[in-house]
Structure 1
Amino acid sequence: MKLRRAWACALAFGVAAGTAAACGTGERGTTEKMLEPDGSAFVLESVAGLEQVALLTGADGMNRTDGYAVYGTDLGSMFNVGDTTYFVFGDTFGERPPDMTGGGGSFWRSNAMAYSTDADPSDGIAFDGMIVDDIGLAKELLPSVKRDFEEITKIPTHGLYANDTMYLYYMSVNHWGEPGHWDANYAGVAKSADEGQTWTVLDDVKWPGDSGFIQVSPYRIQEGDGEADIYFWGVPSGRFGGVKLMKAKESRIESLDGYAYFAGTDDDGKPIWSSEPKEAATVVDDTVGELSVVWNPYLERWLMTYLREGQGVVIREGAAPWGPWGEPIVLVDKDEYPGLYGPYMNPRYTENDGKTIYFALSLWDPYNVFWFKADLEKKS
């Protein structure tokens, strides 16, 4: 198995504490490039070489997750803890009729999790196992009421590792509406100190259902020896809102008042941070579903992927966490892959110094998670 290129300067959230400090690269250090736009033009021209590499989940998937009573599942956002990557799934089902499309089936769990130490993304990701119950079946991490118009499910939107603890940010869904529309009760956080076996909900850390932070994508940035900041890009419930931004010191993520919200820039272009969520400014104005944001060393820019209803999965380049963000470029066309959603990246899974990116992608039919790759093409 090929070893992945080590990220010496900028690492995705989840690497062991103390190893994610940025180091200098050329005239401007990595952290400076992450946080201070240099005013140059966008460099991402297009994407090429899109390829479906593997089916990760289900009875026909490379991991044969039917052995864990996972015949159908979706999402698959990722976070790292040391050399292990955790894949977090949404509504998960046991046996299903062979011709069934979308979510449904027996043995419904609102969420599930797999883990892997596979460092070679080129042939798919082999799971080492899943978080299981006493009889070896994939366990529901965060129980839900499963009652429509009360709490139909709890969907983890992303995980992270901080303070020697695993965290799951999730949304409590009140009701699934028309395609792309759903109502949330709130967004919350749960934590685990035993490698994901048990989870405790943080009752005091919640965002209301009409907020812009129902689904989040986090990233850890550490400047020198100081305490790391965790940046969270967020969207409302559903797939028809824009992206907002908040951050918190690593030690403060368990306190709601530890989060600050991007409220625009001052006359010098510096970010303004507010303690009021209602003052959060939109950083990407689009119809955004299931977003994922990482730093890319090949472009030396931020990358954001998400489902854009009516078009497919798109990718955008960002000069700083708050932008400016470039125009969306189609990464996966909906006509080639009908029913696509949930494009999740992890900077651990790249090749060619970040030119080749890998990502998880869900397809409504067969309601499972696939592994894709694509090449980033710079402007000449």
Structure 2
Amino acid sequence: MGLLRSAPIPRSHLRTTSILAGAALLGLVCVKPTAAAPHPWAPAPVNSCGEVGFDPLAREPEPGSTPDPRPPTIQIPVPVPEFVPVPIPGPGPDNTRIEPEALPADPCANPCPDIRDAPKPTTPPPTTTTVPEGSQRSESTPPTTGEPNDAQPQSATPSAPAPPGGIALPSIEFHPDPEPIPVPVPGGEAPEPQPVPEPVYVPPAPAPLAAPVAPPRVENVRLVDQITGPGSGNRTDMRWQVDGTDLGVMWENRPGEVAVLFGDTFGKGWEPGGAGGADADWRSNVLGFSSDRDLSDGLTLDTFVQDSRCHAAELLNSRKIKNFEVTTIPTSGFAVGDRQYMTYMSINRWSRIPGMWWTNHGGIAWSDDNGRTWTKSQHAMWDNLFGIGRFQVATMVPHGDWVYMFGTPNGRMGVIGLARVPATEVLNKTAYQYWVAGNWVPASTPNELLATPLVLGTASELSIRYDQTSAEWQMVYLDAPAHQIVLRTAAEPQGTWSEPIPLVSTNDYPAAYGGFIHPWSTDRDLYFALSAWGSYNVYLMHATLNR
């Protein structure tokens, strides 16, 4: 999501069983479709201030450019054990907040020139990436976690000159790759214990599949605009020190306003090409707000939660230690009354396998001040014991008297499970029911693990909303084996869900992930946020649906 780390947002979806995971992985390896032809070359986009942005499409080389004749370099990491002291308990969250100042009347004037007023680069970054499709930063090539960025190769075999009519061989470099071994040591004061919720018994109830609905036809999908980063209309780099980020989880936090939640975020010092490092103002998550109702020309961000002038604040802190807690990634948000909720996943480590990661747990945090400060629940947590947790990457949607929780295991190769909880008991795990074999069954670890998959196949970065006009549910997610972001619809949250309808191909948008629906979408106009690993920023997409 991010997708989102010590490798790219992205993460490490596991499986409900090793057999399921193996089959999914084989599908990912063996079913890759024929790559589409690159789009014609086009110059990088420029915003109204003359700043160069990013083009996430796969494009042909610039006419007249000369390809690099040198063969590629193969980098081989060499694990180096490194003991890392980890204070337990760790530091508490920094809830320093300021009241944001109004932006300048001139949209091209920098609100904090004493902090950031650097000229924009004139050379756009490459529009393609070597990161495998469907991978994310926090999952495939994440930010550093106490590991040096400038580690030099210990040895290298230079490429040999190509013999006449022969092929030049790539050079081989060996890089030290610190592998932290966390060592708990005494830390600060423990956080104040939260009251344990009183056990609640919610009686079982039938939940049969509903009749399938006629799926819409996707007439057109277009890139509307770049939401974040250098060259975006929002100029998030100059205004809030958001140079590189991902995800863009959205929900209506109050009437007339939409909260926009981003994953691992980097500021000054970040360079295009994926997630940054600890020296690039790394924050695990940041939150912006938008009141823009006309999305046809892009999504305008009004402000961010800030901890200092022109600096977006980290909401949920993380230890940023590989093999302990690399980062804390938001996965969905919703409001019940005046209280805001956020689901998140605590990432233990990113995998060397693109699109895979390992979580400590999935959890819920809440805010009673419209998202300025957040508290992680000490009880609404789903542990990832032995890596088989089914609700590690959760998306929660309120509807009527219930809040529905759709979840997948860690990584991108898991199936979708479903649970529900009374809207008044979101933080009480005993009140949850899991959808198993056509029934809502009481909360328990076995029932959680036995939640019936909603659809065939694997899914990641779920985004789900209920459309009032059509009285249908819309689900958008990344189908990594198919190299597509797809849409499904259903009359009930448990389905029957329609067959997947392709929205975005990662052949067209290399290493794209996400697909987070704007809550003011309709049954005919579906707006969603798309992340691209190469530029590591977020874009607004528009799908026109024909019913």
Say yes or no: does 1:59 pair with 2:211: no
Taking a change above 3 Å as real, the CA distance of residues 238 and 294 of structure 1, as seen in their structure-2 partners, is same
Which of 184, 189, 198 is the aligned partner of 2:364?
A: 189
Q: TM-score, normalised by structure 1?
A: 0.83
CA distance in 1, matches of 2:336, 2:491: 25
Whether the aligned pair in 2 keeps the contact of 1:163 and 1:251 (CA below 8 Å) is no
Say whether the 8 Å CA contact 1:294–1:303 is kept in structure 2: yes
RMSD, aligned CA: 1.7
| Consecutive unaligned residues in structure 2, runs of 5 or more | 1-206
Q: How many residues align?
A: 329
1:18-62, CA deviations, whole angstroms, 9 ceiling, x for partnerless residues?
A: xxxxxxxxxxxxxxxxx88663x5412531211100100002111
> Quick one: which of 267, 271, 274 aligns to 1:102?
274
**What is the CA distance between 1:297 and its match in structure 2?**
4.6
Corresponding residue of 1:327: 499
Which residue pairs with 2:396 in the alignment?
218
Instruction: Specify every segment of 5 or more residues in structure 1 that has no aligned partner in the other structure, as ranges.
Output: 1-34, 223-227, 266-270
Q: Report sequence identity in percent.
A: 35
Would you tell me which structure has more strand in proportion to its own residues? Answer: 1
Matched, 1:251 2:429: no
CA deviations 1:110-147 (Å, max 9, x no partner) are 00010011111111111110011033301000110000
Q: 1:319 to 1:143 in 2, by over 3 A?
A: same
Structure 1 residue 90 corresponds to structure 2 residue 263: yes
The structural deviation recorded for 1:219 is 1.7
Q: Any idea what SS the aligned residue of 1:241 has?
A: coil
Report the CA distance shift for 1:168/1:211 in structure 2 as closer, same or farther (over 3 A): same
C-alpha change, 1:60 and 1:306, in structure 2 (3 Å) is same
For 2:542, the equivalent position in structure 1 comes to 373
Task: Report what 1:157 is aligned to.
Answer: 331
Residue number in structure 1 paired with 2:486: 314
SS at match of 1:251: helix
**C-alpha distance 357-36 of structure 1, shift in aligned 2 (>3 A):** farther
Q: Is the CA contact (8 Å cut-off) linking 1:72 and 1:96 kept in structure 2? A: no
| Counterpart secondary structure, 2:404 | strand
Match for residue 466 of structure 2? 295
Q: Which residue of 1 aligns with 2:344?
A: 170
The structure 2 residue matched to 1:361, chosen from 530, 536, 546, is 530
C-alpha distance in 2 between matches for 1:126 and 1:208: 37
Cα distance in 1 for partners of 2:507, 2:368 equals 43
Amino acid in structure 2 at the alignment position of 1:371 = L
* Correspondence for 2:511: 339
SS of equivalent to 2:297: coil
Counterparts of 1:221 and 1:346, CA distance in 2: 16
Partner of residue 235, structure 1: 408
Alpha-carbon distance change, 62 to 125 in structure 1, aligned in 2, over 3 angstroms: same
Alignment match, 1:138: 312
* Secondary structure, counterpart of 1:285 in structure 2: coil
Q: Which one has a bigger Cα radius of gyration?
A: 2
Question: What are the Cα deviations for residues 290-315 of structure 1, in whole angstroms up to 9, with x where unaligned?
Answer: 01111235654221111111422011
CA distance in 2, matches of 1:264, 1:123: 44
**Corresponding residue of 1:9:** none
